[in-house]
């Protein structure tokens, strides 16, 4: 790739308009109305739609597609085959009064889909300096990912779902429509947060957490089956959640019983570790 070659098929941009062609692979397309910094790095076969804006320190992987009116700014890297729909905004300054313009980052993995009006803000110095979204994530329209959030692979955020700052969402989790997750909370692996929920503590892995304020309603059985977990793993987790939620034991007593009764289950061990390492407490 010649990083200074004008992309074939894109229109030349006039000097009067103040626009310049970016360092772009020859096969990428930049719409003539797009504003792309000459310092941005575009991979092979990218598509930059009408009226989109790409800042100086943006790096796009191969086959990234930005539909019209997208804005990508800051120190932002986008993985291969990721697609932004109209009016997506990624990498802009966080909504944090402590942020003083320090150079922080936004990372989005491969094959992610961000639908209309999604906003993802870059990190802050006090939060680790990076906001990240993993591979194969699906973020539906109007969802918001605040500064310093860390989202694992294969996460789904439904329409209007909102993560406050410093939220960690483990792989395979689903955040339902118009739900809100409080800052510094964790959402465990394969967790399901029901629509319109308000989550102010850590949401357990493999569990269904629903409501305002949210409560845990046991194992996310449907999700476990869809992800092809074994019948034995599902059975062991059912028993663990029964002891944790329905046995009238306190959390410490329930964990002792779970350890005594359930052996050699990676998923149950993960559940126990999640509870014991929680700093905000867990939703029960």
Does residue 19 have a pLDDT over 90? Answer: no
Q: Which of 194, 205, 224 is nearest to 278 (CA)?
A: 205
User: Which pLDDT score, from 0 to 100, does residue 20 have?
Assistant: 44
- Residue that has been written with the tokens 């989202």 in this structure: 151
The percent of residues in the chain predicted with pLDDT above 90, rounded, is 90
pLDDT digits (tens, 9 = 90+) for 104-120: 999 999 999 999 999 99
Exposure string for 156-186, b = 16+ CB within 10 A, e = fewer: bbbbbbbbbbbbbbbbbbbbbbebbbbbebb
Query: Could you read off the pLDDT of 21-49 as tens digits, one per residue?
Result: 445 566 899 999 999 999 999 999 999 99
Concerning whether 148 is annotated as a catalytic residue, the answer is yes
- Please report, to the nearest 10 degrees, the dihedral formed by the alpha carbons of residues 248, 250, 253, 258 taken in order: 70
What pLDDT score was predicted for residue 26? 63
What whole-number distance in Å separates Cα of residue 159 and Cα of residue 143? Answer: 6
Task: Give the model's confidence band at 226: pLDDT under 50 very low, under 70 low, under 90 confident, else very high.
Answer: very high
The pLDDT assigned to 17 comes to 37
Residues pairing with 72 in the sheet: 54, 90
Give the mean model confidence (pLDDT) for residues 264-269: 96
Q: C-alpha angle with apex 50: 44 to 51, nearest 5 degrees?
A: 115
Identify the weakest region by mean pLDDT among 12-21, 85-94, 163-172.
12-21
Active site includes 147?
A: yes
Catalytic residue among 74, 165, 172, 180: 165
Site of tokens 């034995």: 232
Q: Of 69, 144, 147, 182, which one is the catalytic site residue?
A: 147
CA distance 11 to 21: 9
Q: What is the pTM of this model?
A: 0.90
The overall average pLDDT reported for the chain is 92
Residues with Cβ < 8 Å from 151, sequence gap 6 or more? 132, 133, 134, 137, 145, 163, 168, 169
The active-site residue out of 148, 152, 170, 202 is 148
Q: What domains are defined for the chain? A: 15-166 (2.160.10.10)
Give the model confidence (pLDDT) of 53-63 as tens digits: 999 999 999 99
* Mean pLDDT, range 68-93, rounded to an integer: 98
Q: List, for residues 207-225, the tens digit of each pLDDT value.
A: 999 999 899 999 999 999 9
């Amino acid at each position: 790739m010649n990083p200074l070659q004008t992309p074939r098929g894109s229109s030349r941009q006039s000097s009067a308009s103040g626009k310049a062609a970016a360092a772009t692979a020859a096969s990428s397309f930049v719409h003539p109305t797009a504003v792309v910094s000459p310092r941005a790095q575009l991979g092979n076969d990218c598509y930059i739609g009408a009226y989109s804006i790409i800042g100086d320190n943006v790096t796009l992987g191969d086959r990234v597609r930005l539909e019209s009116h997208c804005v990508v700014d800051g120190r932002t890297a986008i993985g291969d085959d990721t697609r932004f729909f109209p009016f997506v905004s990624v990498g802009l300054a966080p909504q944090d009064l402590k942020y003083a313009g320090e150079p922080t980052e936004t990372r989005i993995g491969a094959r992610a889909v961000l639908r209309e009006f999604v906003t993802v803000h870059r990190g802050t110095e006090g939060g680790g300096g990076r906001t990240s979204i993993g591979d194969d994530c699906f973020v539906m329209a109007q969802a918001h990912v605040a500064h310093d959030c860390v989202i694992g692979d294969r996460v789904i955020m439904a329409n209007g779902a909102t993560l406050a700052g410093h939220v960690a969402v483990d792989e395979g989790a689903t955040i339902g429509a118009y739900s809100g997750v409080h800052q510094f909370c964790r959402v465990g692996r394969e967790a399901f947060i029901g629509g319109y929920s308000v989550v102010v503590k850590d949401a357990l892995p493999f569990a269904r957490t629903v409501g305002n304020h949210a409560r845990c309603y046991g194992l996310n059985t449907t999700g476990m089956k869809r992800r092809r977990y074994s019948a034995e793993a599902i059975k062991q987790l059912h028993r663990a959640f029964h002891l944790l939620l329905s046995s009238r034991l306190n959390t410490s007593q329930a964990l002792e019983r779970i350890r005594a009764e359930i052996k050699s289950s990676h998923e149950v061990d993960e559940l126990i570790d999640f509870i014991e390492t929680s700093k905000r407490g867990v939703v029960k």
